[in-house]
Amino acid sequence: MASSTSLPAPRSRPKKPLGKMADWFRQALQKKPAKMPGSPESAPSDSPRTPSQAGPAPSGLSASTSPAPPAAHEGACSDSGTGSGRWSRDYDVCVCHSEEDLAAAQELVSYLEGSAASLRCFLQLRDAAPGGAIVSELCQALSSSHCRVLLITPGFLRDPWCRYQMLQALSEAPGAEGRTIPLLSGLSRAAYPPELRFMYYVDGRGPDGGFRQVREAVLHYLRTLG
């Protein structure tokens, strides 16, 4: 048999020592890429964020502190211990009465206005604006007065207009104690209107017709105004 021709063995590539190769991989794995400024991977700061770092405020909201509300306006007038609240309305008393009791109402108004306190009274036939509507003038007078005196007589109970005055006075201040003062004159207790049953009334059978007690009730309320 012919001898086979032996081929030269291929040249092997030089190999790095295994120890040096392992060191190279170890260094490559331990080496970290440089962090960019503002990168999401940057570690959060422990210090609290200031308002400027928290981002812009939502639209429509001011970032500045809102100013404190202004102080409430205080009245500049005061008179004989009744306080500035007395002058917040045009009248101290509005007298509601029937037409047939006009003389008694005028007598009561003269007594209140002539007292040392000089109470300001509204008497419809005397103080209503000429040409004004009767209902609107009454409503304006009630809302412009601190107290309302209801002169309750037989004529008052017969007159539908007086009943309207009474109901309007109650609706203006339903829960304000001392503002509505019933003066019962010429009637028994049984005739006292049921709409006023939760209120004490002034008995007009006394020597002064109850006028002094009405005045004291008005002054007492005015003193509560401060």
Query: Residue 99 pLDDT > 70, yes or no?
Result: yes
222: confidence class by pLDDT, cuts 50, 70, 90: very high
| Average per-residue pLDDT for the chain | 75
Structure confidence at residue 75 (pLDDT): 33
**Residues 212, 23: Cα–Cα separation, whole Å:** 115
How large is the average pLDDT for residues 165-182? 85
Query: Residue 82 pLDDT > 50, yes or no?
Result: no
How large is the average pLDDT for residues 102-127? 95
Question: Is-contact 112 211, C-beta < 8 A?
Answer: yes
**Residues 149, 172: Cα–Cα separation, whole Å:** 13
Other C-beta atoms closer than 10 Å to the C-beta of 168 total 17
Query: Residue 50 pLDDT > 50, yes or no?
Result: no
Q: Which of 83-97, 99-113, 146-160 has the weakest average pLDDT?
A: 83-97
Per-position DSSP letters for 101-160, written without gaps between them: GHHHHHHHHHHHHTSTT---EEEHHHHSPTT--HHHHHHHHHHTEEEEEEEE-HHHHH-H
Domains by residue range for the chain, with CATH:
91-225 (3.40.50.10140)
63: confidence class by pLDDT, cuts 50, 70, 90: very low
**Residues 22, 29: Cα–Cα separation, whole Å:** 11
pTM of the model: 0.62
Structure confidence at residue 89 (pLDDT): 93
Structure confidence at residue 207 (pLDDT): 86
| pLDDT tens per residue across span 120-158 | 999 999 999 999 999 999 999 999 999 999 999 999 999
Question: Is-contact 148 181, C-beta < 8 A?
Answer: yes
